[in-house]
């Protein structure tokens, strides 16, 4: 069973059954995970930047994802919501 502990104010850490750690920002509900609390917290910081609009703007999201090796094939549903404003 997963266990929950609290460290930094407003962040909850959950020890998952598979050994990973989930860090969740209590106020917003944004969560991320890692192999350790420190890694989960770093990932959470990036997720919070993105959630609150503090991330870097990407001029061409499809090219960026392709550069990372992510398949950007658009299905029959069309672009995902985060690309709608880009076209």
Question: Is residue 12, in this structure, part of any structural domain at all?
Answer: yes
Q: Is residue 81, in this structure, part of any structural domain at all?
A: no
**Residue 69 backbone class (left: φ over 0; alpha: ψ -120 to 50; beta: rest):** left
The token pair at 77 is 């549903």
Q: Which helix (H) or strand (E) holds 11?
A: strand 11-15
Q: Which CATH number covers residue 31? A: 3.30.160
Query: Has residue 75 been placed in a domain?
Result: no
Tell me the pLDDT tens digit for each residue of 12-64: 999 999 999 999 999 999 999 999 999 999 999 989 988 888 777 788 888 88
Number of folded domains that form the chain: 1
pLDDT at residue 68 is higher than 60? yes
Domain that includes residue 13, residue range: 3-70
**Strands 11-15 and 31-34, how do they pair?**
unpaired
Q: Is 18 among the domain residues?
A: yes
Say which residue, 21 or 83, is predicted with more confidence: 21
Task: Give residue 87's pLDDT.
Answer: 45
Collapsed DSSP state (helix, strand, coil) of residue 81: helix
Cα dihedral 56/81/44/58 (nearest 10): -20
């Amino acid at each position: 069973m997963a266990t929950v502990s609290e460290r930094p104010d407003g962040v909850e850490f959950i020890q998952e059954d598979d050994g990973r750690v989930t860090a969740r920002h209590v106020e917003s509900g944004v969560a991320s995970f890692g192999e350790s609390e420190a890694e989960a917290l770093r990932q959470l910081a990036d997720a919070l930047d993105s959630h609150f609009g503090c991330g870097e703007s990407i001029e061409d999201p499809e090219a960026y994802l392709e550069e990372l090796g992510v398949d950007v094939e658009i299905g029959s549903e069309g672009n995902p919501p985060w690309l709608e404003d880009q076209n």
